[in-house]
A and B are shown apart, each in its own frame.
Chain A
């Protein structure tokens, strides 16, 4: 493929590519990904939009994504993570490198280890049961609005002890800053900035309320870090934005993509129904590969190097296309097949380096429990209108997914 001749047709970073994605290919431009991996695994993409960077390198192969994500001395996070210039989470750990990153992560990491997360099981189970019961009694409903949004939103709010009555407002702020390119979710750039600011202020307010009634939990770790001076007030606010945004706006999309694919694929739906008492870890990992919630994160090159045969220079920005890595046939057998029994599955949906998702074990547990409860409460789930994707090339958002269920 000649780079100059085909650039006009190869675009995997415009928000419209995902908004108008093909539901039969998981909403993803998988043919374009394949062409890039094969012919131009590190290609220069230019943009003519004041809200975006002028040019970025698009990295599409699994091996190159793994290398970039793991080498945080050559590829840094502190100069931005996205092709969009707006950063709601600036100042939080995902924008830090080296010791600063470890200091921030160290404040909360103990609440997200596999053992810590296991302790949330009963709470998540009753939460999922309540959400599913409310939805299925209506029989026909929007899966996104009634199930995919409330589950992770309430899960992270429970962890942070956010009062019930504040959660809807918090969600509106999160939507405004998380998907800035979709007018349905974020009305304007100023709404995005305000959403992030309000969420940060709210985090500080939660800390103040907490001082009056102490308790051992995630919020307590954050309060302690503030008191010990491990985090400044500003850093705490940005941590609040990160936890709220990452907690509420990623798992909801993985859940929606997963249920969409299960409805399209009766064989896999039958398989998961047979295993709904205790969905195996392999099945959850396949759901995570398929429902990868982040389309791209990027790094800034600080030492000249070569990526996939292409020279990249200090100052350049490289965008890792995670779903493309998850479809790399060099790593995954028949990657275009959704296979809940897939054994070898080193997906990159959580990232694979020092910045690998803090909430990865939490997300896996939320998805497992929610699906188990949904399958137990129903005998059939069917789609009644097309899935609608968000206008975004950063998060793989789903706006709506209307379904009807037969109650069990």
Chain B
């Protein structure tokens, strides 16, 4: 499973930050990024929730 982050689509909704605070954050421009050094396998449920709630499909999972 691969996590795809399309920063161009991000519109700063911030839902992912609330669903998976250990994985996602917004940068100085309020655009989503993945926190460095995160082990995805430790956070699969949160990541799935974050992907599901993104209103603009900036986050996607590729299986």
Seen from chain A, the residues whose Cβ lies within 8 Å of a Cβ on chain B are: 70, 102, 105-106, 109-110, 112-115, 281, 346, 351-356, 360-361
Least Cβ–Cβ distance between B58 and chain A, in angstroms: 10
Partner of B55, one of A113, A115, A353: A353
Write out the residue numbers on chain B whose beta carbons fall within 8 Å of the beta carbon of A361. 14, 18
In terms of DSSP, what is the predominant structure of the interface of chain B? loop
Q: Are B52 and A113 in contact (CB under 8 A)?
A: no
B9 to chain A, nearest CB (A): 9
Chain B residue contacts of A352, Cβ below 8 A? 53, 55
User: Per a CB cutoff under 8 Å, which of B11, B14, B52, B56 touches A114?
Assistant: B14
Given the interface pairs A105-B11, A361-B14, the reply to whether A110 lies near B55 with Cβ below 8 Å is no
Chain A residues positioned under 8 Å from B56 (CB to CB): 353-354
Contact B12 A109 (CB under 8 A): yes
Bound-state CA distance A102–B12 (Å) is 11
A361, chain B: closest CB distance, angstroms = 6
Inter-chain CA distance A129–B56, complex, in Å, is 37
Q: How far is the CA of A354 from the CA of B54 in the complex (A)?
A: 9
B4 at the interface (CB under 8 A from A): no
Known: A70-B55, A105-B11, A109-B11. 7 other contacts (CB 8 A): A110-B12, A113-B26, A115-B17, A346-B53, A352-B53, A361-B14, A361-B18
Q: Which residues of B contact A109 (CB under 8 A)?
A: 11-12, 30
- Interface contact A356-B14, CB-CB below 8 Å: no
Residue of A whose beta carbon sits closest to that of B13: A356
Q: Which of B1-32 contact A (CB under 8 A)?
A: 11-15, 17-18, 26, 30
Does B57 make an interface contact (CB < 8 A)?
Answer: yes
Distance of A354 Cα from B57 Cα, bound (Å): 9
Q: Which residues of B contact A351 (CB under 8 A)?
A: 55
A109-B11, A109-B30, A354-B11 known; A114-B18 Cβ under 8 A:
yes
A-B contact pairs, 25 of them (CB 8 A): A70-B57, A105-B11, A106-B11, A109-B11, A109-B12, A109-B30, A110-B30, A112-B12, A113-B12, A113-B17, A113-B26, A113-B30, A115-B14, A115-B26, A281-B18, A346-B52, A346-B53, A351-B55, A353-B56, A354-B11, A354-B56, A355-B55, A356-B13, A360-B13, A361-B18
Q: How far is the CB of B23 from chain A (nearest CB, A)?
A: 14
- Write out the residue numbers on chain A whose beta carbons fall within 8 Å of the beta carbon of B52: 346
A115 CA / B14 CA spacing, docked (Å): 9
In the bound complex, residues from chain B placing their C-beta under 8 Å from that of A110 are 12, 30
**Closest approach, in angstroms, between the C-beta of B8 and any C-beta of chain A?**
11
Q: How far is the CB of A37 from chain B (nearest CB, A)?
A: 21
Nearest residue, chain A, Cβ from B21: A114
Q: How far is the CB of B17 from chain A (nearest CB, A)?
A: 5
Whether B11 pairs with A113 at a CB distance below 8 angstroms is no
Q: What CA separation (Å) do A355 and B56 show in the bound complex?
A: 9
Q: How far is the CA of A112 from the CA of B57 in the complex (A)?
A: 19
Q: List chain B residues, Cβ under 8 A from A70.
A: 55, 57
Q: Which residue of A lies closest to B49 (CB)?
A: A346
CB distance from A258 to the nearest CB of B (A): 20
Task: Tell me which residues across on chain B come within 8 A of A281, comparing CB atoms.
Answer: 18
